[in-house]
Each structure stands twice: as structure tokens, then as C-alpha cells.
């Protein structure tokens, strides 16, 4: 090899390494391991962050539908299995209960230039997570079916029942309402939504003592039972996937489903054009004369693990900043309601926006809320199957919660 060609080869190497430094998003070195739940919005965020892979930085992504069940164990390890866990309101609490997410104040000050103030999740004055999307359960309705039944878009659950009765009595559908009533977490979430819509509170003020066995709790259960009267009799086995399938098959005309499914039921796949073009979104209904939509607001955001080196933490934060950039939000406008500054709201996101504007409250971020949620999801099925009274079901929930909360040291 002569001198000229050796020079050329060297230059090529230098250029190549320079361009890979560019691919690293300005991160000099470190290991970034992102983990989260597996749905399109999080795929987009982690995908954009993974583009930083190269040079001295390695970025790996591991998404799993059961992420919330593995994250505590994975981040408890030292060094942690993942450097960033993508969380929501309730799952951040689980990390914070064990001190597994590190405060991000210094990293936000150094690298968080583009973040809107509303994206910063601060607890006790410390930034614990950076939110990038909002989610809420809200009303999905079939315009053609409601028109044929001669009813307007319901804005309260009483109107939902009336509309369902009209659809059923005209013989348009056997089971006009669909709901995520699968025993367990889903059923618990439906109760939380409806109970907050009734203006109820779960605990005695300032303590972990349960306080749901009251008139609002009974009214909540009676409304849920009335709704199930218009649902497919298998409702206790229906989760979000099943409800989406029912919807796309044209078996239901009204449902209070997750905003993150709005894009999926109007994406031109898995359903007919007639059903998709008539699928409309509105705020979650109010209930019992209340003014607040019976739904909870959720955000999804990223955290940085405690049990990793400061170098990896910085690299992780920088990569995730790339993941939640405005470019990513623009390229994936239809996948979520991005909270990212400058992003335009998605067309299918009107339901989430309307629910938030209607004054729905965020899902309670209390250390013992997860225990309560579990107790609700486990004890409600008996009531909905008609095996016990509403008062008995509420008493059972409180008793199951107290036993679990004592074991967890909250009581």
C-alpha cells in the first residue's frame, strides 16, 4: 500500500468515527438500557432514543407488555438491569416506594433544554420523571348507530344507559356497551374511574384507612351493574384487547376505552371502513349529576434508575431526550397525545383532551393506592355476578385491603 492510499484509508476511518460520534447524539460514552411497556407510542419514543446507538454508546431497548410487573425487581439489582424505566402515574409510585428512581434536577438543568415545565413530574420539589404523553379512558361511540337509534352523543352515564336501551330496543345491537371489566386490574380501574366521578375519596383524610363503604360507593357499584346489563355476558373476561376486538367487529356502539386505543381503532386495519369512519371520540361521561368526567388522567414518562453509574445516568438522560424530541412527536403524531412542547394534538386525541379539560383528576399517586386497586379488582366480581349486595362487596374490599395493607406496613 502506498502512502497516498494509506492516507485515504486513515481519513476514511477518522470520518467514520466522527460520523458515529454524531450518531451518538453528542453522548461520549456509556450504556443505555431502556425498558417499558409495549405499545405504539412507547415503541416510537424508545426507537428514537435507540438511534443514538453507536460510537462509545450502546443503546438497547426491551419492551414488554408486563413491564410493570418486572420493573421493581429489575431496578432493585445493583447495577440495575435497565438504566431507564418508562413509567406511568401508578408505576412511578412503585419505583419511588423503594427509592429506585433517581432525582433528575441536575440532568434536566444540564441537558433538558427543550422540556416544558408541565412535563416535569416533581415530587417534594425533586424532578422524578419526565412525562411525554397523556392518556385517559374516554367515550368511543358509533355515530351511525346512535343516529339510527335517534339519540345524541351521551355526556352522562345516565344518558349512556338511555342510549344503550334505545339501541337494544330497536334491535340494532344485542350488547351496545363494551367495557374493560376483566376481573383484576381492569375492573379495579373501572371502579376507580366511576367512584372518582361520583366525587368519592378512597381513604380517610391523611391516613391509609380505607373509606369507600359509603353511599357514593354503593351508587358507583349500582351504575357499574346497570352498565353490565348492556354488555356481552362475558364482560368479566374482557380486557382492552378484547374490547378493541369487539369494537372493530362492530359488536358495540359505546365504550369508555383508553385514549391510546383511539388510533388503533381508526388505523384502517382490523375493521371495516364503515365502522372506522363512524367511530367518534368524546370526553368520558359524568355521572350522578357530577361535573367531573368519570375517568382518571394518566401520563407516561421516563425515569432514570438509581443503581447505575453517574456516567450511564447522564448518557441515558441524553438518549431519552432524543427519544422525546419534537421531531419524534411530529413523525409519530397519530400514536399518542404528546405532551412535548410544540407538538400538535392528534386527530384521535380529542377524547383525552376533552376529558382533561372537563376536569378529570389524575390517578391518585399514593403509596397504598396499588394495594387498594388490587383489593377492588379482586372482590368486585361477586357483586357483578349477583352473588352479594353492594354493601357486602364494599365491606369485602375494605377487609381485603386492610389485611394486605397491614402486611405492607401501611396500617
Partner 1 sequence: MPHRTFIAFLWPSALAMLLFIALPIMSVAMQSFFISHEQVLEVVENCGPFGCTESTQVNQEATARLQEEEPLGRFNGFGTYTNRNHLAFEEIGEVWRTSDGPGAFFSGLMNLPFYKALVFTLTYTFVVTPLVIILGFVIALSVNRLPGLFKGPTIFFSLLPMIVTPLIGSLILFWMIDAKGVIGGTLQIIFDDPDLSLKASPGLTWVTLMVYGVWHSAPFAFVVFYAGLQTVPQDTLESAMIDGATRWQRIRHVVIPHLTPLVVFITLIQLMDNFRVFEPIVGFNAEASATSLSWIIYNDLRSSDGTMLYGSAAATSMLTIVGVCILLAPVIVRTWRANRRAA
* Residue ranges binding partner 1 (CB under 8 A): 68-69, 71-72, 89-91, 93-99, 118-125, 131, 134, 182-185, 206, 208, 232-234, 236-237, 239, 297, 299, 339, 356, 361-362, 364-367, 369-371, 373-374, 378, 381-382, 384-385, 387-388, 392, 396, 399-400, 402-404, 406-410
* Least separation in angstroms between CB 123 and partner 1: 5
390: phi > 0 → left, psi -120 to 50 → alpha, else beta; which? alpha
- At a CB cut-off of 8 Å and minimum separation 6, what does 310 contact? none
- Rounded to whole angstroms, how far apart are CA atoms 80 and 94? 15
Nearer to partner 1, 236 or 288 (CB): 236
Nearer to partner 1, 69 or 311 (CB): 69
Nearer to partner 1, 24 or 293 (CB): 293
Nearer to partner 1, 165 or 388 (CB): 388
* Least separation in angstroms between CB 311 and partner 1: 23
* Least separation in angstroms between CB 373 and partner 1: 7
* Least separation in angstroms between CB 157 and partner 1: 22
* Least separation in angstroms between CB 118 and partner 1: 5
Nearer to partner 1, 234 or 311 (CB): 234
Nearer to partner 1, 224 or 339 (CB): 339
**Among candidate residues 362, 350, 405, 400, the one with its CA nearest the CA of residue 379:** 400
Q: 298 has which bridge partners?
A: 135
Nearer to partner 1, 182 or 335 (CB): 182
* Least separation in angstroms between CB 154 and partner 1: 24
* Least separation in angstroms between CB 265 and partner 1: 19
* Least separation in angstroms between CB 51 and partner 1: 25
Nearer to partner 1, 265 or 369 (CB): 369
Amino acid at each position: 500500500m502506498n502512502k497516498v492510499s494509506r492516507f485515504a484509508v486513515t481519513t476514511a476511518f477518522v470520518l467514520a468515527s466522527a460520523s458515529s460520534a454524531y450518531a451518538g447524539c453528542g453522548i461520549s460514552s456509556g450504556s443505555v438500557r431502556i425498558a417499558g411497556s409495549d405499545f405504539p407510542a412507547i415503541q416510537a419514543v424508545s426507537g428514537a432514543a435507540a438511534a443514538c446507538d453507536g460510537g462509545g454508546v450502546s443503546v438497547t431497548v426491551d419492551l414488554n407488555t408486563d413491564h410493570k410487573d418486572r420493573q421493581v425487581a429489575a431496578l432493585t439489582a445493583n447495577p440495575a438491569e435497565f438504566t431507564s424505566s418508562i413509567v406511568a402515574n401508578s408505576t412511578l409510585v412503585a419505583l419511588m416506594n423503594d427509592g429506585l428512581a433517581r432525582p433528575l434536577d441536575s440532568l434536566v438543568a444540564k441537558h433538558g433544554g427543550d422540556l416544558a415545565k408541565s412535563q416535569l413530574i416533581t415530587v417534594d420539589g425533586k424532578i422524578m420523571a419526565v412525562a411525554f404523553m397523556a392518556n385517559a379512558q374516554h367515550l368511543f361511540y358509533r355515530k351511525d348507530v346512535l343516529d339510527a337509534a335517534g339519540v345524541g352523543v351521551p355526556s352522562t352515564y345516565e344518558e349512556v344507559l338511555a342510549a344503550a336501551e334505545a339501541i337494544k330496543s330497536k334491535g340494532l345491537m344485542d350488547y351496545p356497551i363494551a367495557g374493560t371489566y376483566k376481573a383484576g386490574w381492569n375492573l379495579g380501574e373501572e371502579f376507580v374511574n366511576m367512584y372518582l366521578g361520583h366525587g368519592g375519596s378512597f381513604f380517610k383524610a391523611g391516613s391509609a384507612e380505607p373509606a369507600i363503604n359509603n353511599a357514593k360507593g354503593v351508587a358507583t357499584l349500582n351504575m357499574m351493574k346497570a352498565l353490565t346489563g348492556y354488555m356481552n355476558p362475558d364482560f368479566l373476561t374482557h380486557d382492552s384487547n378484547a374490547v378493541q376486538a369487539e369494537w372493530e367487529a362492530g359488536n358495540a356502539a359505546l365504550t369508555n376505552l383508553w385514549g391510546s386505543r383511539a388510533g388503533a381503532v381508526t388505523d384502517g386495519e382490523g375493521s371495516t371502513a364503515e365502522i372506522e369512519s363512524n367511530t367518534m371520540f368524546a370526553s368520558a361521561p359524568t355521572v350522578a349529576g357530577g361535573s367531573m368526567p368519570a375517568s382518571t388522567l394518566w401520563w407516561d414518562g421516563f425515569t432514570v434508575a438509581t443503581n447505575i453509574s453517574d456516567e450511564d445516568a447522564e448518557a441515558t438522560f441524553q438518549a431519552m431526550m432524543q427519544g422525546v424530541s419534537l421531531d419524534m412527536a411530529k413523525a409519530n403524531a397519530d400514536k399518542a397525545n404528546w405532551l412535548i412542547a410544540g407538538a400538535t394534538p392528534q386527530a384521535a386525541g380529542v377524547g383525552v383532551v376533552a376529558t382533561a379539560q372537563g376536569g378529570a383528576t389524575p390517578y391518585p399517586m399514593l403509596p397504598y393506592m396499588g394495594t387498594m386497586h388490587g383489593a377492588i379488582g379482586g372482590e368486585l366480581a361477586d357483586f357483578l355476578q349477583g352473588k352479594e349486595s353492594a354493601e357486602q362487596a364494599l365491606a369485602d374490599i375494605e377487609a381485603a385491603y386492610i389485611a394486605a395493607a397491614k402486611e405492607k406496613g401501611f396500617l
